[in-house]
Amino acid sequence: MIKQSTLKPENAAFRETVPAGEYFLKVVKAGQTVRILDLEGNQAADTLFYNAHNPTERYSAVDTIREQGNVYLTAGSKLMSSENNVMLEITSDTCGRHDTLGGACAAESNTTRYALEKKCMHACRDSWLVAVTEHEELGMSKRDITHNINFFMNVPVTADGGLNFADGISDAGKYVELEAKMDVLVMISNCPQLNNPCNGWNPTPIEVLVWS
């Protein structure tokens, strides 16, 4: 569902551009709104959410899909935690549909899906591992890296239940906006994938904005 935001970027309390292949890590407080902006179009933002005070409570794709009765995420979707609490709600969305089934790219999936020689290509899972390694204070490790949301990524489910990584439906300037319902740690990998069309074969930067 397409829903425009009324928030103005010039009023944002925080703005950061995240290059492709880099991670973004920030606590967004309950009541704050975070926007992920696809600056140049067709870019996947692989995202994990955690309870900022207890990262063992985290975003759960299965609970979110069950509670809303739909596999796609868009305006109105409530993102559920592994404890079945609402973590965030998507309040605006100019892309229209986001994936939470396809998972994130990893050295392992690049190897099995594409070729053995792709194993050393940078992947989203690597970016998250760098994030938790560089932030020991979080007390997190690779066991905390679980299923995620791929904002802007187009993974249509076929009539017989299959999954495709399809050409994107996002475009330059499209965004998704979420209101935090608890203090959440937002961890994004701006996807560096070059082996499928999730980034239009050309990974590009995103911008993250937060309004208080």
Nearer to Zn ion, 45 or 79 (CB): 45
Span from 7-15, 87-95, 113-121, 188-196 in contact with Zn ion (CB under 5 A):
188-196
Nearer to Zn ion, 79 or 203 (CB): 203
Site track 80-109 with Zn ion (rule: CB under 5 A), x = hit: -------------------------x----
Nearer to Zn ion, 46 or 93 (CB): 46
Shortest distance, CB of residue 73 to Zn ion, whole angstroms? Answer: 17
- Long-range contacts at 74-81 (CB < 8 A, ≥ 24 apart): 74/1, 74/98, 75/1, 75/2, 75/3, 76/1, 76/3, 78/181, 79/49, 79/149, 79/178, 81/49, 81/51, 81/57
Report d(CA 20, CA 44) in Å as an integer. Answer: 9
Interface positions, 13-52, toward Zn ion (CB under 5 A): 46
CA-based nearest residue to 64, from 23, 105, 93, 99: 99
Site track 165-184 with Zn ion (rule: CB under 5 A), x = hit: --------------------
Span from 62-70, 158-166, 169-177, 190-198 in contact with Zn ion (CB under 5 A):
190-198
Count residues near Zn ion (CB under 5 A).
5
Nearer to Zn ion, 149 or 182 (CB): 149
Nearer to Zn ion, 57 or 126 (CB): 126
**Applying CB under 5 A, which of residues 124, 145, 206, 209 lies at the interface with Zn ion?**
124
CA-based nearest residue to 176, from 143, 137, 132, 206: 206
**Is residue 186 close enough to count as binding Zn ion by CB under 5 A?**
no
Interface positions, 193-212, toward Zn ion (CB under 5 A): 193
Report d(CA 196, CA 162) in Å as an integer. Answer: 17
Ramachandran angles phi, psi of 94, nearest 5°: -105, 5
Tokens representing 125 are 């899972």
For residue 68, the one-letter residue type is Q
Report d(CA 119, CA 107) in Å as an integer. Answer: 5
Give the number of other Cβ atoms within 10 Å of residue 2's Cβ. 12
Site residues for Zn ion per CB under 5 A:
46, 105, 124, 191, 193
